[in-house]
């Protein structure tokens, strides 16, 4: 008897699993394609969008200091942060690669790739998974170092606080704002109808904004689903929202999240691989 999770000879361990990917517009396609290849049925739904900082002058001034060579470290914690820096620098962005005194720290392989593509400068440090402690520790002894940290308006303060406690001179500047995406009223109905089996969270902000779209009744329904989190920080946010994570990736990357989901489904046996929850 053939395995229902095989399709044309290819293993499809997630066959029939219906997954919601609540990410910003244009951010979830790679993850969705990876999941489709494993037989899942991903639904892309934007819960967040990105907007320029309320005070663009502060970012522009920071870019001037960066170009003038005033920083020893530029820390980038998301692809969106890289895009914001590249946009603010404009034609000056390629010059970063010639700053021998400047090192870049990037969180994860996607952010690292964006540094090379948009700034022309590959990062010197790339922790596999993100925590303020891990990136701060990767810098070695930051005492007295001048660090630029351009990130989201809602970014958690742990990285900045840890660097300051270690003696670094940190300039944290808002590079972009995270704002709610429109829509979402239909999601509670989808969950109630049993049209979704899992929610995949790649950041705490996606979880918070999805919870806002669902409302209290929808959030209660969402507790029935598989709650998959990319890392411990995202898992902590889900718990704050009353969504107990079903699984947390060991490696805080999209690949790690997919691997954790496959391991979870395969651990439940063939009965859990057909989309039933």
Confidence band for 132, pLDDT divided at 50, 70 and 90: low
Confidence band for 131, pLDDT divided at 50, 70 and 90: low
Instruction: Assess whether the region 6-47+181-272 and the region 51-179 belong to the same CATH fold.
Output: yes
In the chain, % of residues over pLDDT 70? 91
Q: Is 246 helix (H, G, I), strand (E, B) or coil?
A: coil
**Per-residue CA distances from 230 to 70, 163, 171, 248 (Å):** 34, 24, 28, 6
Q: Which pair of tokens denotes residue 175? A: 């590079």
CATH of 6-47+181-272, one of 3.40.50.1100, 2.40.30.20, 3.40.50.10090, 1.10.150.110: 3.40.50.10090
Confidence band for 7, pLDDT divided at 50, 70 and 90: very low
**Average pLDDT rounded to a whole number, residues 163-181:** 95
Please choose, from the candidates 45, 22, 21, the residue with its C-alpha nearest in 3D space to the C-alpha of residue 34: 21
Higher pLDDT, 25 or 171: 171
Confidence band for 114, pLDDT divided at 50, 70 and 90: very high
How high is the pLDDT of residue 276?
A: 33
β-partners of residue 76 are 106
Q: Which long-range contacts (CB under 8 A, 24 or more apart) does 117-125 make?
A: 118/82, 118/83, 118/85, 118/86, 118/93, 119/82, 119/85, 119/86, 119/89, 119/93, 119/94, 120/93, 120/94, 120/96, 121/96, 121/97, 123/76
How high is the pLDDT of residue 74?
A: 96
Give the range among 5-14, 18-27, 209-218, 228-237 with minimum mean pLDDT.
5-14
Q: Which CATH class is domain 51-179?
A: alpha beta
Please, what is the average pLDDT of the chain? Answer: 88
pLDDT digit string (tens) for 40-78? 999 999 999 999 999 899 999 999 999 999 999 999 999
Domains in the chain: boundaries:
6-47+181-272, 51-179
How high is the pLDDT of residue 10?
A: 59
How high is the pLDDT of residue 272?
A: 37
Spatial distance between the Cα atoms of 173 and 61, rounded to a whole number of angstroms: 10
């Amino acid at each position: 008897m053939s395995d229902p999770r095989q399709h044309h000879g290819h293993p499809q361990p997630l066959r029939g699993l219906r997954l919601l990917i609540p990410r910003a517009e244009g951010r979830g396609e790679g993850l969705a394609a990876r999941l489709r290849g494993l037989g899942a049925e991903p639904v892309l739904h934007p819960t967040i969008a990105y907007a320029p900082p309320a005070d663009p002058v502060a970012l522009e001034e920071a870019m001037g200091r960066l170009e003038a060579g005033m920083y020893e470290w530029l820390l980038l914690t998301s692809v969106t942060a890289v895009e914001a820096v590249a946009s603010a620098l404009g034609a000056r962005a390629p010059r970063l690669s010639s700053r021998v005194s400047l090192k870049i720290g990037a969180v994860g392989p996607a952010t690292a790739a964006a540094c090379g593509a948009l700034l022309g400068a590959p990062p010197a440090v790339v922790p596999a998974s993100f925590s303020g402690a891990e990136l701060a520790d990767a810098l070695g002894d930051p005492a007295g170092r001048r660090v630029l940290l351009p990130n989201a308006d809602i970014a958690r303060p742990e990285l900045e606080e840890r660097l300051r406690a270690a003696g670094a001179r940190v300039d944290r500047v808002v590079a972009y704002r995270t704002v709610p995406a429109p829509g979402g009223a239909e999601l509670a109905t989808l969950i109630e109808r049993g049209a979704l089996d899992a929610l995949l969270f790649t950041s705490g902000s996606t979880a918070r904004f999805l919870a806002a779209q669902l409302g209290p009744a929808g959030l209660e329904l969402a507790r029935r689903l598989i709650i998959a989190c990319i890392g411990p920080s995202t898992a902590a946010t889900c718990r704050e929202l009353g969504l107990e994570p079903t699984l947390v990736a060991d490696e805080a990357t999209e690949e790690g999240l997919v691997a954790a989901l496959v391991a979870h489904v395969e651990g439940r046996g063939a009965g859990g691989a057909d989309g039933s929850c």
